């Protein structure tokens, strides 16, 4: 009899595992058990459902017939207990499901910090489809929302509520937006753009408590400075943590997340974990364990794990870091490593458009001039080219002269590469770099 | 329970609020439309010797004679007038339905008197011009509200854009309009009278339904083109291509043919390539061109060069888009009037299957018809004779009018803005074959940045599941892609770019160490 692979969680990690296992092995029985939704949908697209850009069904990357056709069984239920000794799962309705191989891909949960009033009606986070439904209900009759915690989900929540003409206040602990990740120039650029949208951004402001009105719903928040901000919605978005509720007490080792090695194997045989829920143990003494709570890392976990499960034990190696996001109207892409604070031995070239909605940063080693990271706001760059430059350890001079090659903006867009190069020349007396490669209609016509 | 305290949103406090102006614009637009529809009842019909004479040139003198008994008759209802006209024309047993339709149209139009005839210019201003101004007033202030960027907020909650009641009614209205335009233009002569002053001014001819339609079409592309300028003001690609479709519609489809008519030359839309232009090889057209001296010969040669050389060569270099979303009239309307409906296209695999069968069937139909036309023309009608005429009729009815017109535009609010282009256009089929097998065009996918959100697929008017490719890091080359560039514009992660480049490796899955 063919083996039974059971995956808990139909997010990107679980689904990628299932798809790739099926690609590599047409025999194995594959089942995905998940509660939140009957089918796989794109979590990063949640905001667009609320904003009316898409319907729920538009966020599903595969049509519903896809699963049956590829013989991936779907069970829409909560797993209540893992019985690792008997290789069996207990579902909410009392049924049990036996497995030969188990993958835990249960994702994350929103953080809360025990603020007084955080359980009041009208207070919520943003992670699941149900959160979007709840927001729909909360947004009725709301005039102002207070969002606590900046970051990527906070800004998405703000954009969502903005689309319904709800006034917004964002409280951030830091003195510039997301400046624990972004260098201060970029953090300020983002902050200005947020304010440009009419959002009231309160820097260095901490939440003290959430106050209830007579109807028992949230009425206002109180900051640590004692200011009361009236509001009907409070969005709590101070980050996420691995969802390990199910795994605890099952014999599977956990710390903050489900502990796995570089092969995504847990301490138990035939039990693996992938996606947001994992904590990858440090490979070497002195290093720290890793959390990877991103869409593409979830996908990569799934791809690697599928190999291991189908008999080709493969180590997970993430490769060169990259990421992207969007802050209201400004797109953000980063490749390699750009530290939020200047690191010793590194120099960075920062260019910003006078209008303040486009900027670029190239970080390089001060001595060898080898480029270690890029970040772009309001300009699209080519993943493949930036990654090649980083892999080949190109110097900043080389990169600048060829910068046009990396430009990924649509045709006819204004190109800023020559301004970026001039900025370098200005900062480095003696340097007289010329942009050799522009992205241009003609170059590409005859390339 | 205390009522929830609602603060007036101070959000967007930095941006001006033009609600009042925009609402008035909408009001004026609707008023203009109301006057337009109202004009249908603003005439009565008096058949006089003068009105009969005015129809000469459109109808033979003998047939006009048949109407002599009606001279002096006055009708308040167009239906009664048409009934009488038809009864008299039927006295000529040889008259066919087509000729009957033409005769009824001109006889009724020239018989119209009353408020509309007396105030044509004023009513033109109060209907079409007012609707245009209203439309612009509704659209333009949006460029000062909020910041540039993709704002598809609320589209799926909107009755017009999400196939709600208003959308369905609008679809019905458009369908009805096309049915009248193609098959019963004599019921809407009053609309066409509104275009008379403009037609006289430009062409020195009275307006027929095609001039009226062309005028409306061009104005629509201009007004909704302005909407595109506003909506996509952050993206130069859209600004440039929208300017291009406006230019080709106004210049090539509207002005040049009108001026040619004014100069009594054969008229031609120089950008309308065979087989979209299915009447090009019909014998009457070939005869007209061949009997019109150098200009006619030039038109003939150009029409052939356009179809056989320009179309494939340009498509090789730039992909289908150079035509479909930069030049074409159908594409022009789809990219302007149709933009609010692009999300309604069906993305399912099933729809793709149906699409391939349908569009290639139409292509085969068009090629067979054209072959018959040419063979027939060269053999002087000896080979296929009357069959050619029959096939032309079928094609004109089913493809030219029913598909391209009624379904093509009428279904905007029901199945998206490219129903014709996707399922029916034989030129699109040819362009698509070139694009797929021999072209430098592709949509490049940017490594691993895709978050599978689905914006690209949702807003692809051709119903291409762009995400399917993007999330696998694969370039997108689909025969149907018209290169509108909207998938790239709505992608929140900068994953997609329309590019022309070397053919090698065009289909490659981008090397990506995922
Ligand atoms: C609003 C938002 C925006 C985001 N935007 C981005 C972005 O732009 N880019 C990016 O890289 N990342 C983004 N992320 C993060 C990204 O969505 C996650 O990294 C990714 O979804 C994690 O996938 P996963 O498969 O690990 O888990 P999940 O997607 O969380 O899936 C886990 C599933 O398992 C189910 N489950 C859990 N426990 C059980 C149980 N006991 N029984 C049954 N089912 C269970 C859960 O209900 C859930 O559906 C965003 C996240 C959010 C919330
Ligand atoms: S794939 Fe993109 S460019 Fe092509 S038709 Fe669809 S939306 Fe337009
Ligand atoms: S819009 Fe962009 S991120 Fe979203 S699915 Fe399409 S390519 Fe991927």
Structural domain includes residue A316 = no
Per-residue pLDDT tens for B196-238? 999 999 999 999 999 999 999 999 999 999 999 999 999 999 9
Q: Which of B314, B453, B460 is the best mutation test for A, with the most CBs of A within 10 A?
A: B453
Residue in chain A lying closest to B469 (CA): A61
Inform me whether the pLDDT recorded for B374 exceeds 60. yes
Q: What pLDDT is recorded for position B390?
A: 86
Q: What pLDDT is recorded for position A443?
A: 52
Inform me whether the pLDDT recorded for B508 exceeds 90. no
* Chain A residue numbers touching B500 (CB-CB < 8 A): 444-445
Per-residue pLDDT tens for A378-426? 999 999 999 999 999 999 999 999 999 999 999 999 999 999 999 999 9
DSSP code, position A312: -
From the number of C-beta atoms within 10 Å of its C-beta (0-12, 13-18, 19+), residue A232 rates as buried
Q: What is the pLDDT averaged over residues A305-316?
A: 98
Q: Are residues A195 and A47 in the same domain?
A: no
Q: What pLDDT is recorded for position B380?
A: 82
Residue whose CA is closest, atom 37 of ligand 1? A106
Q: What share of chain B in percent tops pLDDT 70?
A: 96
CA distance A410 to B236: 8
Q: Are residues A333 and A387 in the same domain?
A: yes
Per-residue pLDDT tens for A72-89? 999 999 999 999 999 999
Q: What pLDDT is recorded for position B1?
A: 36
DSSP code, position A406: G
Counting ligand 2 atoms within 8 A of each CB, the residue from B464, B468, B480, B488 with the most, and so the one to mutate, is B464
Inform me whether the pLDDT recorded for A441 exceeds 80. no
CB B193 within 8 A of CB B217: no
Q: Are residues A285 and A348 in the same domain?
A: no
Q: What pLDDT is recorded for position A283?
A: 83
The residues, ordered by sequence, that sit 6+ positions from B184 with a Cβ below 8 Å of its Cβ are B101
CB A229 within 8 A of CB A221: yes
Q: What is the ipTM of this complex?
A: 0.96
Structural domain includes residue A213 = yes
State the pLDDT confidence band at B11, using cuts at 50, 70 and 90: very low
Q: Are residues A251 and A222 in the same domain?
A: no
Structural domain includes residue A72 = yes
Inform me whether the pLDDT recorded for B165 exceeds 90. yes
| Phi, psi at A377, each rounded to 5° | -120, 125
Residue A41 C-alpha, separation from nearest chain B C-alpha, in angstroms: 8
Q: Bridge partners of A31?
A: A6, A73
SS3 B355: helix
Peptide bond into B275 cis (omega under 30): yes
Higher pLDDT among residues B3 and A74, named by residue: A74
Q: What pLDDT is recorded for position B389?
A: 84
Q: Are residues A92 and A127 in the same domain?
A: no
Neighbours of A424 (CB within 10 A): 18
The residues, ordered by sequence, that sit 6+ positions from B79 with a Cβ below 8 Å of its Cβ are none
Q: Are residues A84 and A142 in the same domain?
A: no
Q: What is the pLDDT averaged over residues A349-364?
A: 97
Q: Are residues A216 and A272 in the same domain?
A: no
Structural domain includes residue A317 = no
Task: Please provide the average confidence, as pLDDT, over all residues in chain A.
Answer: 95
Q: Are residues A23 and A95 in the same domain?
A: yes
Structural domain includes residue A267 = yes
Per-residue pLDDT tens for B45-56? 999 999 999 999
Q: What is the pLDDT averaged over residues B67-73?
A: 95
Q: What is the pLDDT averaged over residues B252-265?
A: 96
DSSP code, position B249: I
CB < 8 Å from B in window 324-363 of A: 324-326, 328-329, 331, 333
Q: What pLDDT is recorded for position B513?
A: 29
Q: Are residues A436 and A333 in the same domain?
A: yes
State the pLDDT confidence band at B15, using cuts at 50, 70 and 90: low
Residue whose CA is closest, atom 41 of ligand 1? A79
Q: What pLDDT is recorded for position B509?
A: 54
Inform me whether the pLDDT recorded for B511 exceeds 60. no
Q: Are residues A333 and A441 in the same domain?
A: yes
CA distance B129 to A110: 56
Q: What pLDDT is recorded for position A14?
A: 98
Per-residue pLDDT tens for A171-202? 999 999 999 999 999 999 999 999 999 999 99
Q: What pLDDT is recorded for position A252?
A: 97
CA distance B335 to B328: 10
Residue whose CA is closest, atom 8 of ligand 2? B484
From ligand 2's centre to the CA of B321, what distance in Å? 9
State the pLDDT confidence band at B3, using cuts at 50, 70 and 90: very low
Q: What pLDDT is recorded for position B381?
A: 75
Structural domain includes residue A117 = no
Q: What is the pLDDT averaged over residues A236-249?
A: 95
**Domain extents for chain B?**
44-113, 440-513
How many domains is chain A partitioned into structurally?
3
- The answer, yes or no, to whether any atom of ligand 2 lies below 6 A from the CB of B462, is yes
Which CATH number is A425's domain given?
3.30.390.30
Residues of the domain holding A152: 123-238
Structural domain includes residue A257 = yes
Which CATH number is A294's domain given?
3.50.50.60
Beta-sheet pairing, A4-8 with A101-104: parallel
Q: Are residues A183 and A85 in the same domain?
A: no
Q: What pLDDT is recorded for position A285?
A: 83
Give the containing element (helix H, strand E) for B333. helix B329-336
Q: What pLDDT is recorded for position B8?
A: 41
CA distances from A253 to A265, A280, A345 (A): 11, 12, 39
| Listed residue (A113, A88, A114) closest to A100, CA to CA | A88
From ligand 3's centre to the CA of B352, what distance in Å? 20
Structural domain includes residue A114 = no
Q: Which CATH architecture has domain B440-513?
A: 2-Layer Sandwich (3.30)
Inform me whether the pLDDT recorded for A122 exceeds 70. yes
Q: What pLDDT is recorded for position A440?
A: 58
CB A8 within 8 A of CB A277: no
| Listed residue (A370, A351, A367) closest to A359, CA to CA | A351
Inform me whether the pLDDT recorded for A286 exceeds 90. no
CB A299 within 8 A of CB A16: yes
Of A53, A61, A333, the CB nearest to B455: A53
Q: Are residues A96 and A201 in the same domain?
A: no
């Amino acid at each position: 009899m063919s083996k039974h692979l059971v995956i808990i969680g139909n997010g990107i990690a679980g689904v990628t595992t299932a798809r790739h296992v099926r690609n590599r092995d047409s025999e194995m029985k594959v089942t995905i058990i998940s509660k939140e939704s009957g089918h796989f949908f794109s979590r990063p697209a949640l905001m667009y459902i609320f904003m009316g850009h898409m319907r729920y069904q538009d966020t599903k990357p595969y049509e519903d017939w896809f699963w049956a056709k590829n013989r991936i069984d779907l069970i829409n239920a909560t797993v209540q207990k893992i019985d690792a000794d008997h290789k069996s799962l207990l579902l909410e309705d009392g049924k049990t499901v036996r497995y030969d191989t188990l993958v835990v891909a249960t994702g994350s949960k929103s953080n809360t910090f025990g603020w007084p009033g955080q359980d009041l009606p009208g207070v919520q986070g943003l992670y699941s489809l149900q959160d979007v439904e709840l927001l729909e209900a909360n947004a009725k009759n709301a005039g102002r929302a207070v969002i606590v915690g900046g970051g990527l989900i906070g800004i998405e929540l703000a954009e969502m509520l903005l689309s319904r003409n709800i006034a917004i206040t964002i409280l951030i602990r830091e003195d510039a937006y997301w400046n624990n990740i972004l260098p201060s120039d970029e953090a300020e650029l983002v902050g200005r753009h947020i304010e440009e949208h009419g959002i009231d951004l309160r820097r260095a402001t901490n939440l003290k408590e959430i106050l209830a009105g007579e109807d028992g719903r949230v009425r206002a928040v109180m900051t640590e400075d004692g200011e009361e901000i009236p509001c009907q919605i409070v969005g709590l978005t101070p980050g996420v943590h691995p969802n390990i509720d199910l795994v605890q007490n099952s014999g599977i080792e956990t710390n903050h997340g489900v502990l796995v090695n570089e092969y995504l194997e847990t301490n138990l045989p035939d039990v693996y974990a992938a996606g947001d829920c994992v904590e990858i143990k440090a490979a070497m003494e002195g290093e720290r364990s890793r959390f990877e709570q991103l869409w593409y890392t979830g996908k990569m976990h799934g791809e690697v794990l599928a190999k291991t499960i189908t008999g080709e034990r493969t180590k997970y190696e993430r490769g060169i870091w990259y990421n992207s996001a969007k802050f209201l109207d400004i797109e953000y892409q980063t490749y390699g490593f750009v530290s939020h604070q200047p690191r010793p031995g590194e120099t960075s070239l920062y260019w910003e458009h006078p209008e303040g909605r486009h900027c670029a940063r190239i970080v390089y080693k001060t001595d060898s001039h080898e480029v270690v990271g890029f970040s772009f706001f309001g300009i699209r760059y080519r993943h493949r080219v930036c990654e090649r430059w980083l892999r080949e350890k190109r110097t900043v001079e080389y990169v600048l002269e060829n910068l046009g090659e990396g430009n990924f903006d649509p045709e006819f867009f204004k190109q800023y590469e020559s301004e970026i190069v001039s900025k370098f020349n200005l900062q480095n007396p003696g340097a007289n770099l010329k942009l050799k490669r522009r992205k241009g209609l003609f170059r590409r016509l005859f390339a | 329970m205390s009522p929830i305290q609602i603060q007036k949103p101070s959000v967007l406090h930095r941006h001006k609020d033009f609600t009042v102006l925009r609402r008035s614009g909408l009001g004026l637009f609707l008023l203009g439309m109301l006057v337009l529809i109202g004009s249908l009842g603003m005439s009565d019909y008096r058949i006089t010797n003068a009105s009969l004479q005015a129809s000469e040139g459109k109808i033979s003198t003998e047939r006009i004679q048949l109407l002599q008994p009606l001279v002096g008759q006055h009708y308040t209802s167009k239906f009664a007038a048409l009934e009488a006209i038809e009864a008299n024309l039927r006295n000529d047993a040889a008259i066919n339905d087509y000729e009957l339709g033409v005769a009824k149209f001109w006889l009724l139009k020239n018989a119209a008197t009353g408020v509309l005839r007396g105030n044509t210019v004023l009513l033109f201003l109060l209907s079409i011009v007012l609707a245009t101004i209203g439309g612009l007033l509704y659209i333009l202030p949006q460029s000062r509200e909020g910041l540039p960027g993709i704002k598809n907020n609320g589209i799926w909650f909107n009755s017009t854009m999400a196939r709600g009641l208003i959308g369905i009614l609008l679809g019905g209205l458009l369908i009805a309009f096309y049915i009248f335009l193609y098959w019963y233009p004599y019921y809407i002569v009053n609309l066409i009278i509104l275009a008379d002053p403009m037609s006289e001014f430009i062409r020195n001819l009275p307006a027929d339904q095609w001039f009226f339609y062309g005028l409306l079409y061009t104005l629509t592309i201009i007004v909704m083109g302005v909407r595109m300028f506003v909506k996509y003001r952050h993206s130069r690609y859209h600004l440039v291509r929208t300017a291009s479709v406006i230019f080709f519609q106004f210049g090539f489809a509207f002005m040049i043919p009108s001026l040619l008519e004014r100069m009594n030359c054969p008229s031609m839309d120089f950008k309308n390539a065979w087989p979209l232009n299915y009447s090009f090889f019909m014998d009457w057209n070939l005869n007209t061109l061949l009997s019109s001296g150098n200009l006619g010969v030039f038109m003939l040669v150009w029409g052939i060069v356009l179809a056989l050389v320009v179309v494939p060569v340009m498509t090789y270099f730039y992909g289908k888009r150079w035509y479909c979303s930069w030049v074409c009239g159908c594409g022009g309307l789809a990219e302007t009037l149709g933009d609010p409906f692009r999300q309604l296209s069906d993305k399912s695999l099933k729809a793709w299957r149906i699409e391939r069968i349908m569009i290639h069937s139409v292509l085969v139909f068009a090629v067979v018809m054209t072959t018959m036309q040419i063979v027939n023309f060269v053999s002087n009608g000896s080979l296929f004779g009357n069959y050619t005429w029959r096939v032309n009729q079928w094609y004109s009815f089913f493809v030219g009018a029913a598909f391209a017109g009624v379904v093509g535009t009428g279904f905007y609010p029901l199945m998206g803005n490219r129903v014709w282009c996707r399922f029916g256009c034989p030129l699109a089929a040819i362009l698509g074959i070139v694009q797929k097998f021999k072209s430098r065009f592709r949509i490049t996918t940017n490594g691993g940045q895709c978050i599978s959100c689905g914006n690209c697929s949702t807003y692809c008017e051709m119903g291409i599941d762009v995400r399917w490719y993007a999330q696998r890091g694969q370039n997108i080359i689909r025969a149907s892609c018209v290169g509108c560039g909207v998938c790239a514009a709505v992608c929140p992660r900068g994953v997609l770019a329309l590019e022309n480049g070397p053919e090698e490796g065009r289909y490659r899955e981008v090397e990506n160490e995922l």
